[in-house]
Amino acid sequence: MSDFELIDSHCHLIFENFEEDLEDVIQRLRSKGVKKLVHACCELSEIPKLKKISHKFNEIYYSVGLHPLEAKKWELSSKSLLRRSAQEDRRVVAIGELGLDFFKSENKTQQIDALIPQMELAYELKLPVIIHCRDAANQMIEICSDLSKKGKCPKGVLHCWTGTTEEMKQFLDLGFYISFSGIVTFSKAYEIQECAKIVPNDKYLIETDSPFLAPVPHRGKRNEPAFVENVANFMADLRSTELITIAKESSKNAEDLFKFDLII
Ligand SMILES: [Zn+2]
């Protein structure tokens, strides 16, 4: 048993590839000292499953929201459904994952139309947002800056960070946290490693984004929350510190952002 606490700030466990051995996966994360995890939501139809799994396993908290690659599923009623889901279950700790993904973007406008109301809702409910941002940092910064000028930008985290140090600084200035995934362990991820070296102690989280992007030395395999320890170890090397320091700092930051046990 580990003598420190790790928090996997972003993962997905309801995809089919965990159906067979979820109990084992939970046992393994417990054995690595993972005390809490945030299960991210990609589309609204996942919410009943997320609720069920989070009430079965004490470690699991979750977000509710619509991923930018699912933006076509945004409907007029989606905002009120998300509001209700967030309000009726206190294991909901964030809105998301939301954001912009312009990697293969035919539907930029649709993505923005799904993003803005979710940002507004998070601000209204005083919940943080989990931001997915791929090839769209400038647009995302612009949208957040506009909200910030109106005093209506929610708190949040850039999950699975893959931007430049310059972009990271702009997101930090907007008050966001930066979350590092298994990508930081990849040998050619120089830019992300540079970000991981300079991010302030009180502004970073760690995550697996399971089942994707397994860190070294599990690369190519299905990822699982127990592997957040590998991300933490790698961060410790990059920041010339000990695993226990990374565990303490990243867990405190996750607690500050998600306020897991606050009873509303
Ligand atoms: Zn995700």
Residue owning tokens 């830019």: 191
Q: In CATH, what number is assigned to the domain containing residue 173?
A: 3.20.20.140
Question: Is residue 226 included in any domain, yes or no?
Answer: no
The residue among 158, 160, 138, 141 whose CA lies nearest residue 149 is 141
Residue 11 Cα to ligand 1 middle (Å): 6
Residue 52 Cα to ligand 1 middle (Å): 19
Where are the alpha helices (H) located in the chain, listed in sequence order?
22-31, 47-56, 78-88, 108-125, 137-149, 165-173, 190-198, 228-238, 243-258
Question: Is residue 131 included in any domain, yes or no?
Answer: yes
Rg (CA), the chain: 17
> In which domain, by residue range, is 162 found?
6-213+236-258
Question: Is residue 38 included in any domain, yes or no?
Answer: yes
Question: Is residue 231 included in any domain, yes or no?
Answer: no
Number of structural domains (the chain) is 1
Residue 148 Cα to ligand 1 middle (Å): 25
- One digit per residue, the tens of pLDDT, for the chain of length 264 reads 467 899 999 999 998 889 899 999 999 999 999 999 999 999 999 999 999 999 999 999 999 999 999 999 999 999 999 999 999 999 999 999 999 999 987 799 999 999 999 999 999 999 999 999 999 999 999 999 999 999 999 999 999 999 999 999 999 999 999 999 999 999 999 999 999 999 999 999 999 999 998 999 999 899 999 999 999 999 999 999 999 999 999 999 999 999 998 654
CA end-to-end distance (rounded Å), the chain? 32
Question: Is residue 173 included in any domain, yes or no?
Answer: yes
Residue 12 Cα to ligand 1 middle (Å): 6
Number of H helices, E strands in the chain: 9, 8
Residues 183, 206 contacting (CB under 8 angstroms): no
CA atoms within 13 A on the CB side of 177: 29
Question: Is residue 42 included in any domain, yes or no?
Answer: yes
Residue 13 Cα to ligand 1 middle (Å): 10
Residue 100 Cα to ligand 1 middle (Å): 13
Question: Is residue 218 included in any domain, yes or no?
Answer: no
Residue 97 Cα to ligand 1 middle (Å): 7
